[in-house]
Each structure stands twice: as structure tokens, then as C-alpha cells.
Structure 1
Amino acid sequence: MDLSCWDIPKLINLLTRPNRKPVLLDQTESVYLLLLHICPNTSLNPLIINNIFISLSHALPITMVKQVRRYALFQATPDSEFVKEMYGGYFNVFVSAFGDEGEQWDLFRVIDGEFPRDDDLEKYDGFVISGSLHDAFTEEDWIIELCTVCKKLDVMKKKILGICFGHQIICRIRGGKVGRARRGPDLGLGNITIVKDLIKPGGYFDETESLSIIKCHRDEVLEAPESAIVIGFSEKCDVEIFSVEDHLLCFQGHPEYNKEILLEIIDRVHKIKFIEEEIVEKAKDSIEKIEPDTQRLHMLCKNFLKGRRTHLV
């Protein structure tokens, strides 16, 4: 078909008449439907559609509609009164740390039994599992369900960022061993040594040799899964960071936390006698001496979730 059969000026006049909103063109199908609506009796082929689109694009206020990236937070802990008052809930803390403009983030309070439907899992680009006061190695119903969902996501090769409790859940579903920390609870700020030999140049970690991170846990990964690469360790914990293939990345520490949140947690767990006085004092002392590598940690996690950088070895 000769493109001349199309009255391009007429189309432009129709679509640019006063008070008309900008045309939203997403995929080839959208262009096809638009043109078919204007000229219903004309058969089109992709080459003609492309030529018409190019002609129109020079004259129309076209907005290209990008596919919205979608992520989900599996929240495994209730919101503290402090976090609700200061941030509106942990969900906002996570989105602020790992989200970007234009993305859609959904919240599933897995601790309350909220999970996405199986047929909705494919819609997401990535998932984040939060920390929790619960033990990842127990047989509580919601923890068993969380493991089941994470196994499905693992098979689908969906990206999962596991944090603290989430780190341990991923270890569990991959066949590793989780239990009480061998060297006792770890609370405060601490340094992680990065195993540089396992990092490909230009990867998520770049040239990072160490990271300062907020820690708040009494359980840990005792044995990493056979399929895991242990990327980071510390004096207190042998498995601080591990990855599996290209879709699982886990931190024992909390890249999403800040000092305010940590201080509130310290006071709260101290009141319920969850930790000893000596640990509390050491934790508060570390807060005064060390600054977390917040910006680097946030960027690292974003790079992983969004696949922005070269992959880990």
C-alpha cells in the first residue's frame, strides 16, 4: 500500500485540534488501534504503521508510556509506634531507600498472613523481605507460607533482596542452616569485609573493600547454601552477605535503617529484656563512633534489584 493514500495532514489536524490532550503511544498495537479508529477500512502492516508513526511524531505532542517497574515488600514485622509517627511505617522506609520515581511498590504484611496470589507473582520485577523479631527457622504458619512463596520466586528467577530475617529465609529455602548466632547477638554499627576476589569489576559492589552497616540480630546463617557465594563477612558473623546466581542477594545487616531507627529499636528491645545491658551499651557506643555507608548500601541494593550493573561472579 502506498503511504500517500493516508491523509497525514488530516490526521495531524484531527489529533492536534484545540483542547485535545497529548496522545499516549505505548506499543505498536496502540499505534495500530489509534490509526484503525481513524481509518477503519484500511488494512495496515508494520512498515506502514512505522512510517505513519514517524510522520506523526514530528507534529504531535506524543508521550511515550514506559512500562512501570513493580516491586513488593514482604514485611515480616509490625510497625513500631516510632516508625509510624516518623515515617508512616516501615514500608515508607524501604521505598525511600530502594525505590525510584515512577515505580510501583506494593506492601504485603506477611507476618499477618498477607501474600500475593500465585498468578500475580509474574507481574513483579523484584521483592524485598524485611527483618523480624521472629526466628526464620521456626514452623509458624506464616513463615512456612513465606518459604513456599520464596521457593516459587526462586524457580521463576525473580530478584529477591533478603534483609536480616529475609537473609535467613533465603538461606533456609536454598538448603542452608540458620540458628542462634554463634558469637551472640549483634546490635549496633559494624564493618563488613568484602571478598574482592568474588566481585567482577564494574559489578554491584564496584571497588568496595568494606561496608559499614547497621546490625540488629540474634540469629544468623550458620551454614550458607551450597549454591551461595559468600561475599561479605565480619568478626561477629561469617556470612554477612551472600548471593545465589543473579537473582538472590542477602544481607544480615540492615541497609535500609538509619541511626534514629536503630536507637529506637535498642531502647525497645532493651525494655522487653530481649538483650543484655552490656550489649546495649556497646551498641550505643558504636553509633557514636561509626557512620553507616547508607548511600553506598542503597545504591548497591538498587543496582541489584534493577539490574543496572554487571552481575556478580
Structure 2
Amino acid sequence: MKIGILQTGHAPDALIETTGDYDVMFANLLAQNGVTFQGYAVVDGEFPANGAEDADGWLITGSRHGAYEDHNWIRPLEDLIRDIDAQKKPLIGVCFGHQIIAQALGGKVEKFDGGWAIGRVSYDQNGDTVTMNAWHQDQVVDRPDRARVLAGNAFCENGILAYDDHIWTVQPHPEYGADFIQGLIDHRGRGVVPDDVLDAAAADLHGPVSNPEIATFMKAFLTKERT
């Protein structure tokens, strides 16, 4: 099985040597027997030549860009999302990926008036708590009619969304560990995110997260048989 990773941003240069870029981070997170990964740097204009046909399943990464911004790769990416959806191929979106999928399917994304979510954040998932590292100010503020809310909290109502049986999207980052969040604080946060928000996140970096459980779910979601 081949999973296409649609890369909509790049990790900070200072972190890539240790973690790899976002496509590598997801390939490492989701590695399993019988699955291969191919990255497409759509942020740099690199798209799969045959659209949705070029992979059996897809994942859209995070980005420092906004889904509502006027970049020349946004509309082609939305078209590809709709093509993947029409073919009912499995699709996962993370952070920006979560947002651009919602936007492509009729939802609305904007900068949230409540500010930033940085570091460990917990979400209610049908009475259970899941915790992941977040790094966002943008949010899905109006979800598409088809979208079902699977998890959220008072700050981010649309934390995890699902569309039918083949699209699953998540606002926080199951691929980010404590070290990566610290790297973002050091290399992207200061001067952009309020210092008190960054300081609070840094003080809480090493608590438990649900990344292994979410990764297991994502692997199964991408590879399960669908009728």
C-alpha cells in the first residue's frame, strides 16, 4: 500500500537535521509492514502527476501558512482533496491539513479570537481524554455539514472531525513530541506567540501525550479495507 504525504510546510531548518522534514516525521510515525510513503511538497508546487490515483491513501501535513491565504497551491490542493473524497480514498489531515480539508468541503477557517493553543492540550472524546501537542491560532470555526465532531474542548470545539468513513482530521499534532515543541518555541514562537503562552507550554512539555494511541489509530484508518 502506498500513502502519499502532501507536505504543506517545512519544519524549521534547525530541527530538520534531527527530526527530518514533516514528510519524514509522518513516515516514521506511521511506519508498518507493507506500507510505503511518498512525499509531495505541494507547498513548493509539487503535486502528484495523476492526482488521487497516485496513492492508495493520503495525509496532509501541518503548515505555518493559513488555509485562507492566497497562495498559488491552495486551490489545486483543494481540488485534489475533493478528488480524493470523491474516490473515497482514506485521507487524514493534521493541523493545517485538518483546516484545508474542512475549507475544501465547505467549512470556514480563520484566526481564532481566543488566541493560540501551544503545547500539551487535552480534548474530550466521547467521555475519554486524549492529549496531544498543539501549535495553532487558526481554527475550523464553521465545519462542513458532513463533518462529525469526534473530539474537542472549550477552546477548540472542532478538535477532531470525521467525514463518512474515509476522512479523519485532527487539529493538534500526534507527530510532535516535547523536543519538537521546544524547538518551535525557540525558533518560531518568540515574537509571534505571546511569551506567557510559550512559557506556560514550555513548563508543561514533558507530561504524557496520547501520540502512540493516535498513531495506532491512524495506521489502522489508512489501511483498513473499505467496501
Q: Does 1:127 align with 2:58?
A: yes
Range with greater deviation from structure 2 (178-187 or 158-167): 178-187
- Could you tell me whether the CA contact under 8 Å between 2:2 and 2:35 is conserved in 1? yes
Q: Give the equivalent residue in structure 2 for 1:278.
A: 196
2:110 to 143, 163, 179: 179
The one-letter code sitting in structure 2 at the alignment partner of 1:256 is E
1:153 to 66, 74, 84: 84
Q: Give the equivalent residue in structure 2 for 1:228.
A: 147
1:192 to 115, 123, 147: 123
Q: Does 1:302 align with 2:219?
A: yes
Q: Give the equivalent residue in structure 1 for 2:30.
A: 98
Give 1:87 deviation, angstroms. 2.7
In structure 2, relative to structure 1, the CA distance for the partners of 1:123 and 1:111 (3 Å cut) is closer
TM-score by length of 1: 0.69
**Contiguous gaps of at least 5 residues in structure 1:** 1-68, 197-208
Give 1:84 deviation, angstroms. 2.0
Match runs of 1:69-88 below 5 Å: 69-88=1-20
Query: As a proportion of its length, which structure holds more strand?
Result: 2
Distance in 1, Cα, partners of 2:13 & 2:119: 21
Give CA-to-partner distance per residue, 1:90-146, whole Å, 9 cap, x none.
22211111121332210100110000023x532412111000110011221111111
- Could you tell me whether the CA contact under 8 Å between 1:177 and 1:221 is conserved in 2? yes
**Contiguous gaps of at least 5 residues in structure 2:** none
2:28 is paired with a residue of what secondary structure? helix
2:165 to 218, 225, 246: 246
1:287 is paired with a residue of what secondary structure? coil
Structure scoring higher RCO (CA < 8 A, sep ≥ 6) equals 2
Give CA-to-partner distance per residue, 1:143-172, whole Å, 9 cap, x none.
111111111111111111000000000100
Give 1:235 deviation, angstroms. 2.6
Query: As a proportion of its length, which structure holds more helix?
Result: 1
How many residues are paired up?
Answer: 227
Give CA-to-partner distance per residue, 1:214-263, whole Å, 9 cap, x none.
10001001011110100001132010000000111000000111111111
Give CA-to-partner distance per residue, 1:4-56, whole Å, 9 cap, x none.
xxxxxxxxxxxxxxxxxxxxxxxxxxxxxxxxxxxxxxxxxxxxxxxxxxxxx
The one-letter code sitting in structure 2 at the alignment partner of 1:295 is P
Q: After TM superposition, which residue ranges in structure 1, 4 or more long, deviate above 6 angstroms?
A: none
Distance in 1, Cα, partners of 2:133 & 2:20: 21
Q: Give the equivalent residue in structure 1 for 2:184.
A: 265
Identity percentage of aligned residues:
27
The one-letter code sitting in structure 1 at the alignment partner of 2:215 is H
- Could you tell me whether the CA contact under 8 Å between 1:190 and 1:286 is conserved in 2? no
Give 1:179 deviation, angstroms. 0.5
RMSD: 1.7
- Could you tell me whether the CA contact under 8 Å between 2:48 and 2:54 is conserved in 1? no
TM-score by length of 2: 0.94
Bigger Cα Rg: 1
Distance in 2, Cα, partners of 1:226 & 1:297: 25
